[in-house]
């Protein structure tokens, strides 16, 4: 059970396999037989994680540190150093690659490798195990030549393929310089050699992988590569195939459009980073975006393809007021994406967004994920109100639980103004934004539509009941009893079972 080198991941969820640590393991060279990888969920009891690491008795622990696990990782490193100070702890990951001087976890650990550590980690382990440990504790990794890297895809286990997200990447880096994003620091964009990459995808496909999440920041930047990948999957298409890509929203030439059109509904999901329609804001954060072409391309995706469009907007960017954000939200919703992910601006370590701190009075939480608390145009109560809006939008509009019911909340006016009014009412009613059972949320939607907006109770109940039944749920919520009949046992047995999220891809 013991290994000289232990790679440990504290993932946000069980379903999220650690892609970065698999790259490290794939590139350990002659140290591979002496290296093991173990994964935990970050919110697991810290003593369980501690005991599991100690039981493996490693000489070196490599720990990936991200914005979502830095607090749990700091506790783990602190406890490990207390009970086993001789254990050499090496950190890596985006959270510890910048601003290392003021981080407790960096002070506690023995070494920190900044940047892409695919090769640098193995080199450091060789020095330590060979008795030639370097004196320098913070090591800047040289940018690896991608053709020199061993691909990690064979390290996905059969259980990973059956139960977890399978991450893949055809490129690294981003050609843009948006100041809120770490990817802006990764210029130039570098491509993996296409033939070996496609061969690795073929092996994953042969092993049963049908859901692939591409982590490339700009999948449609290199048209030759993106077209080749789409052709690869189209030739192998079968029901259940699902591909997720991050796309540049204003770049869809005809050759790429042809490749996208061929796929049936539910096979492709594009994450489209709109972020803001405010041109002053875009200039402030060094973001280049042609909004006219963006709108044209989203209309193409929704009107001529079966792509599930997941569009992103950010709250709190400099120059963006409440009114400006609301206008951008309405503009985006009118283009018909199936999901709009409203995210609060985060002050990620190393990003140049900090240059606006003084002029725009940017105030962030000191704790991960370092979300915006207020700025010059949006005060703290309003920012908190927008954070609740984002949370309730995700629960109601993005969840797939209210496909028919949700649009009724904003059918008579501005979607943003309508939904933020609902959000304010819902928070006053529930007093919380988390741990809301679906039945309680559905009843709240019903009450708001009927009692506040004046919708017909019978028609509203029937709409919510249709939404509720899409999840193949056997119960009938009590608040619907006066309006609808419970499903028969035969009807329940005859309904196909499928995950609500996948159902959303098919129904949109």
Exposed e or buried b for every residue in 97-126, given b needs 16+ CB within 10 A? beebeebebbebbbbbbbbbbbbbbbbbbe
Report if residue 305 sits inside a domain.
yes
Residues 410 and 371 both lie in one domain:
no
pLDDT-derived band of residue 498, with 50, 70 and 90 as boundaries?
A: very low
Residues 318 and 434 both lie in one domain:
no
Report the pLDDT averaged over residues 448-477: 95
Cis peptide leading into 188, omega within 30 of 0?
yes
Predicted local confidence at residue 474, as pLDDT = 84
Condensed to tens digits (0 to 9), the pLDDT of residues 342-395 reads 999 999 999 999 999 999 999 999 999 999 999 999 999 999 999 999 999 999
Which DSSP state fits 143?
A: P
Q: Quick one: which of 234, 229, 270 has its CA closest to 252?
A: 270
Residues 119 and 178 both lie in one domain:
no
pLDDT-derived band of residue 187, with 50, 70 and 90 as boundaries?
A: low
Count structural domains, the chain: 3
Give the mean pLDDT of the chain. 93
Condensed to tens digits (0 to 9), the pLDDT of residues 422-453 reads 999 999 999 999 999 999 999 999 999 999 99
Contact 114, 97 (CB under 8 A): yes
Q: Give me the CATH number covering residue 251.
A: 3.80.30.20
Predicted local confidence at residue 338, as pLDDT = 96
Share of the chain above pLDDT 90, in %: 88
Range of the domain at 131: 5-145
> What is the maximum span of the chain, computed from C-alpha positions, in angstroms?
77
Residues 226 and 104 both lie in one domain:
no
Predicted local confidence at residue 342, as pLDDT = 98
Residues 191 and 219 both lie in one domain:
yes
Residues 216 and 101 both lie in one domain:
no
Q: Quick one: which of 431, 424, 434 has its CA closest to 391?
A: 434
Report if residue 160 sits inside a domain.
no
Report if residue 363 sits inside a domain.
yes
Q: What is the pTM for the complete model shown?
A: 0.92
pLDDT-derived band of residue 27, with 50, 70 and 90 as boundaries?
A: very high
Residue 311 CB burial class (10 angstroms; 0-12, 13-18, ≥19): buried
Q: Give me the CATH number covering residue 81.
A: 3.40.50.2300
Site of tokens 């190393």: 350
Predicted local confidence at residue 221, as pLDDT = 87
Residues 321 and 434 both lie in one domain:
no
Report if residue 120 sits inside a domain.
yes
Residues 25 and 133 both lie in one domain:
yes
Site of tokens 């369980």: 48
Q: Quick one: which of 402, 344, 391 has its CA closest to 370?
A: 344
Report if residue 390 sits inside a domain.
no
The arrangement of strands across the sheet holding 60-64 comes to 35-41, 5-11, 60-64, 88-92, 111-114, 138-140
Condensed to tens digits (0 to 9), the pLDDT of residues 51-107 reads 999 999 999 999 999 999 999 999 999 999 999 999 999 999 999 999 999 999 999
Residues 406 and 359 both lie in one domain:
no
| Cα 310 to Cα 9, 166, 179, 244, 431, distances in angstroms | 27, 19, 22, 10, 29
Residues 71 and 174 both lie in one domain:
no
Q: What tokens appear for 184 in the block?
A: 């802006």
Q: List, in order, residues 6 or more apart from 54 with CB less than 8 Å away.
A: 80, 83, 84
Residues 183 and 330 both lie in one domain:
yes
Residues 316 and 256 both lie in one domain:
yes
């Amino acid at each position: 059970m013991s290994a000289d080198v232990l790679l440990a991941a504290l993932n946000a969820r069980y379903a999220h396999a650690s892609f970065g640590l698999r790259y490290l393991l794939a590139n350990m060279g002659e140290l591979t037989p002496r290296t093991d990888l173990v994964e935990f969920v970050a919110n697991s009891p810290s003593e369980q994680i501690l005991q599991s690491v100690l039981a493996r008795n490693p000489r070196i622990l490599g720990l990936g540190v991200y914005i979502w696990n830095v607090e749990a990782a700091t506790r783990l490193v602190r406890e490990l150093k207390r009970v086993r100070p001789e254990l050499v702890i090496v950190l890596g990951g985006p959270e510890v690659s910048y601003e290392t001087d003021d981080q407790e976890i960096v002070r506690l650990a023995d070494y920190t490798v900044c940047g892409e550590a695919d090769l640098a980690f193995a080199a450091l382990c060789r020095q330590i195990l060979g008795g030639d440990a370097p004196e320098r504790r913070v090591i800047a990794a040289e940018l690896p030549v991608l053709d020199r890297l061993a691909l990690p895809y064979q390290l996905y286990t059969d259980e990973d393929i059956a139960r977890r997200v399978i991450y893949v990447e055809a490129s690294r880096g981003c050609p843009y310089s948006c100041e809120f994003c770490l990817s802006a620091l990764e210029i130039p964009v570098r491509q993996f050699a296409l033939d070996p990459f496609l061969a690795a995808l073929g092996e994953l496909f042969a092993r049963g992988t049908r859901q692939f999440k591409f982590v490339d920041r700009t999948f449609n930047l290199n048209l030759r590569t993106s077209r080749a990948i789409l052709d690869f999957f189209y030739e192998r298409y079968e029901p259940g195939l699902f591909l997720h890509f991050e796309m540049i929203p204003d770049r869809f030439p005809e050759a790429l459009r042809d490749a996208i059109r061929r796929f049936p509904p539910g096979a492709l999901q594009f994450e489209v980073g709109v972020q803001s329609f405010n041109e002053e804001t875009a200039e402030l954060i060094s973001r280049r975006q042609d909004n006219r072409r963006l709108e044209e391309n989203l209309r193409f995706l929704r009107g001529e393809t079966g792509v599930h469009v997941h569009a992103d907007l950010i709250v709190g960017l400099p120059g963006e007021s409440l009114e400006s954000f609301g206008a951008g939200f309405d503009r985006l919703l009118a283009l018909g994406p199936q999901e709009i992910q409203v995210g609060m601006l985060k002050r990620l370590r190393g990003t140049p967004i900090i240059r606006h701190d003084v002029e725009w009075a940017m105030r962030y939480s000191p704790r991960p994920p370092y979300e915006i608390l207020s700025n010059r145009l949006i005060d703290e109560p309003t920012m908190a109100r927008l954070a609740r809006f984002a949370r309730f939008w995700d629960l109601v509009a993005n969840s797939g639980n209210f496909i028919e019911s949700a649009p009724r909340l904003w059918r008579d006016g501005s979607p943003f103004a309508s939904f933020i009014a609902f959000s304010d009412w819902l928070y006053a009613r529930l007093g919380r934004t988390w741990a809301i059972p679906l039945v309680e949320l559905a009843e709240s939607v019903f009450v708001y539509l009927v009692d506040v907006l004046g919708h017909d109770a019978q028609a509203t109940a029937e709409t919510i009941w249709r939404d509720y039944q899409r999840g193949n749920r056997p119960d009938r919520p009590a608040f619907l009893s006066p309006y609808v009949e419970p499903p028969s046992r035969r009807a329940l047995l005859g309904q196909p079972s499928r995950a609500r999220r996948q159902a959303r891809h098919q129904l949109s």
